[in-house]
Amino acid sequence: MRLALCQFNPLVGDLRGNGVLLLADCQRAAACGADLVVAPELALWGYPARDLLLRPSLRQLQGQVLDELAAALPTGLGLLLGIADPLPDGNQPDLSNAAALVEAGRWQVVARKQLLPSYDVFDERRYFRSGSGPCLLEIERQGRLWSLGLTLCEDLWVEERIAGHRLAGADPIAALQPLKPDLLLNLSASPFSQGKAALRQQLAGAAARRLGCPVVYVNQVGGNDELVFDGASFVVDASGAICQQLPCSQTALAYWDWAPAPPGSEAPLPPPAVLPGPEEQLFRALVLGVADYARKCGFQRALLGLSGGIDSALVAVIACAALGPGAVQALLMPSPYSSSGSRSDAEALAARLGFGQQTVAITALMGAFDGALTPALGAAPAGLTAENLQSRIRGTLLMALANQGGQLVLSTGNKSELAVGYCTLYGDMNGGLAVIGDLYKTSVFQLCAWLDSDAARACRRDLGLPEAGELIGAAIRLKPPSAELRPDQRDSDSLPDYALLDPLLQAYIEQHRSPEDLGPELNGMDPALAQRVYGLLRRAEFKRRQAAPVLKVSPRAFGSGWRMPIAAGP
């Protein structure tokens, strides 16, 4: 049996458009001799569809699109895809997260998801009821009856020793064991986070060994709001070894010819494919997130403030890879405190990448604000007030240009800054998308070092970036971080060194720790400093609630998976 793995990029809520994309892939697959096309979880809706799932008109449209697919599907080809299946008993929730088999002239629900995640960014229990298993599909192809075990995304995540967590409830893999399926299929919509692609392969390998059969894993690809789905679909054989690997962060239609080996013989396997390294996976995910956020929200061009610092430089590189340098514009907004090196570094970066840049100095605007506010304040703005005014002037200029030109403003703050509130509401936080808001400052340095290394050349070439020489540049990478809002300012004047700060933040944010239970992990750090950082994290919650959507690339990002109260006790 020839399977086609359909790693496609849906637009959330565009059921008819997604159906058209699926049909086109099915027609290509049929022309290549495929027997069954396997598409991701909730493929018609796009994941996550959130409250669009509650709209009766869209539910009705889903049935129409499935009927249209069944009528148009080439004879002899099956399409297995994820749908939202209405449950007619009047109880709530009234949907199941299901898989449907579409064949020429008909379609039917063949599996329902059993483990419904409601942690991190997931909220499936708001919309779905759990199915009961096991889910087994028997189909006849090539003169043989094939027994296919079916699971949807979280149903595969039952090995706590691998995943680090396990939802309470059924074990869909254990339920399939006595049925001895020939093959296990998993339809997924699993968002990217660093290290997750390898984790999925380990989970599939464990399921393959338990069932004694290959596992086909098909994942959604594309950016949907703050989530990036990296695809990276694959097939493992019965021993858990990779025998087919699809690309990361790209649409793909790949084929796997499944011919079980007779007892005592060995079936030849294609050369094992490998995933790219962690830095490339991360960079490609960020590029895809920006490209799809712009495209799916109707933006063709992007604008960012370019300071000559490493954060804005990285965002500029990502934007050029995502949209092309001709669609990227930067605004330089020097103040009396901006160093000549920062200006020249920013201009050199724009020249290397080939994007447009303009300069609007803010010195005169700062003077006008001082003059306007002095009567009300009794003195000219000073200290933090004056610094925030500079940031807000810049934010206002960016939004004005974006309004006039119809551009998407990309904010350039990193996760360390968002965590401790080292950012200004209505200033540097302005924008439609926070591109690196889930990268700690130390991670920004690491990714930029990789981009400037020979190891990134092939990826740079593939994404249309200059292949030779530095992209970010040593002058930007090696300078001490500074917001340049006062003379000789350094980030270290207000914050601990990032090498100390970021591990603390990681413990607080991703491990749910508090200063009191860090203990020996402080490694000699002043406990008062750990407490201060924790206090900054808590007090900055009101800022994060008003921030632009943050592209999620870590296990726990600020956004829909971060649900902290603003007003709360210590």
Catalytic residue positions, numbered: 41, 113, 153
Crossing angle (nearest 10°) for helices 363-377 and 383-405: 130
Pairing type for strands 234-236 and 215-219 reads: antiparallel
Task: Give the C-alpha separation, 9 to 42, whole Å.
Answer: 12
Q: Please name the residue that has the structure tokens 């709001």.
A: 225
Q: What are phi and psi of 337, to 5 degrees?
A: -100, -5
Residue 3 forms beta bridges with which residues? 36, 256
18 Cβ contact list (under 8 Å, min separation 6): 10, 11, 43, 44, 45, 46, 65
Residue 84 forms beta bridges with which residues? 97
Task: Give the C-alpha separation, 101 to 95, whole Å.
Answer: 17
Closest CA to 7 of 45, 40, 47, 33: 40
86 Cβ contact list (under 8 Å, min separation 6): 59, 94, 95
Q: Judging by beta carbons within 10 Å of its beta carbon (0-12, 13-18, 19+), is residue 20 exposed, middle or buried?
A: middle
Tell me the torsion sign for CA atoms 208, 211, 213, 218: negative
Closest CA to 108 of 77, 74, 67: 67
Structure tokens at 539: 């007090």
Under DSSP, the state recorded for 518 is T
Residue 144 forms beta bridges with which residues? 141
Q: Are 247 and 276 in contact (CB under 8 A)?
A: no
Q: Phi/psi class of residue 195: alpha, beta or left (left: φ > 0; alpha: ψ in -120 to 50)? A: left
Task: Give the C-alpha separation, 95 to 53, whole Å.
Answer: 9
What would the DSSP string read from start to end of 172-205?
A: HHHHHGGG--SEEEEEE--B--TTHHHHHHHHHH
